[in-house]
Amino acid sequence: MLRGLARISEIQYRRAFSRLCFLFENLEISRFIMRIMISGSIAYDNILSYGGRFSDHLVRESLDHINLTFVTDSMTRNYGGCAANIAYALKLLGGHPVVTGAVGTDGSDYLYRFEQLEIETSVAKFNDVFTAQCFVTTDKTGSQLATFNPGAMSRSHEAAFPEGEIGLALVAPDGKEAVIQRMNECFSRNIPVIFDIGQAISILSGDEIRELISKTTYLAASAYELELIKRATLLTTDEIADLVKALIVTYGEKGSTVWTEGKEITVPACRVPNAVDPVGAGDAYRGGLLYGLSKGWSWEQTLRLASVMGSFKVEKTGAQNYAPTKEQIADRYKATYGEEMPA
């Protein structure tokens, strides 16, 4: 019992100290741009389009033994991966992301892209595996067949923690060892961190998720992911919110909600009439979330910006093919929410 109380006290102390440091840095934000570590997957997204219907080639009596080939009409290869997508969105806003992860033997052009975008990295490169990649084939009905190979991502825990001052961090879906390691590194260094659990739910046990939540400053999840977290940990939404500084949950077109300091704040979504591709919208949202937090904005302002960034993403196919200017971002913010975007 005493050990348990000591453990809770240590966590509370670290969280309070972490928050104090974060607030102090926000007072000085006008003098520098905060370096924000983003760890997670770096991947290639291969998108293929099939003009027919998958169902026309499936034989109900032989579904236990499928051997099919689909000749596709087109294929595009896009830059993706949660960490890279979030860093891209943050960079568009003028933030200073530091990407931590891994690429494989085919990752040189991705590293060059980071260079061109002036995105700082602490990335391990392995020449005996490929970079993580996803192959998604969509037929004319919208049905999809997807295959994902983690490749170098499985060894991203071997990447070094970034050197120098890190003012804020986000741990995105990654290999299991990397997720646990990065969370522990941020905790031991008293770095305020967003745990963006995402697909990592499926590779972590309920006890592991509870332990990581106890070490995070902010927890971000979609509404569906929150239900999976609750099922795995046997915690309620209120209990989860009590364990962190803030719980941020997205609800798609219904907007997003943050539970913080006993309050529940909901911000409507920034809707656009010509949404074409939702892939990567959550990552764009998180880029806005990081920027608002690093600037010390209110939660309403931060969630609004996050939603605006997601709205620009869904207008383009591919996770990193949108490129609004800061002026366009500010204009949409004002048009949607009726207020000027903070400087």
pLDDT tens for 232-287 read 999 999 999 999 999 999 999 999 999 999 999 999 999 998 888 888 999 999 99
Q: Which residue has the tokens 């389009």?
A: 49
For residue 38, which of 196, 150, 215 has the smallest C-alpha distance? 196
Residues of the chain short of pLDDT 70, as ranges, are: 1-32
Residue 64 pLDDT: 79
User: What is the pTM for the complete model shown?
Assistant: 0.88
pLDDT at 18: 56
SS3 126: coil
Output the CATH code of domain 13-43+81-133+150-337. Answer: 3.40.1190.20
Q: Residue 22's pLDDT is what?
A: 53
| Token pair recorded at residue 266 | 């909901």
| Amino acid making up residue 150 | P
Does residue 151 come out as left (phi exceeding 0), alpha (psi in the -120 to 50 range) or beta?
A: left
Phi/psi class of residue 270: alpha, beta or left (left: φ > 0; alpha: ψ in -120 to 50)?
beta
Residues near 232 by beta carbon (within 8 Å), at least 6 away in sequence:
201, 204, 205, 206, 209
Nearest CA-CA partner of 167 in 67, 38, 327: 38
Residue closest to 203 by CA, chosen among 171, 220, 178 = 178
Round to whole Å and give the CA distance between 339 and 7.
44
CA distance 101 to 111: 11
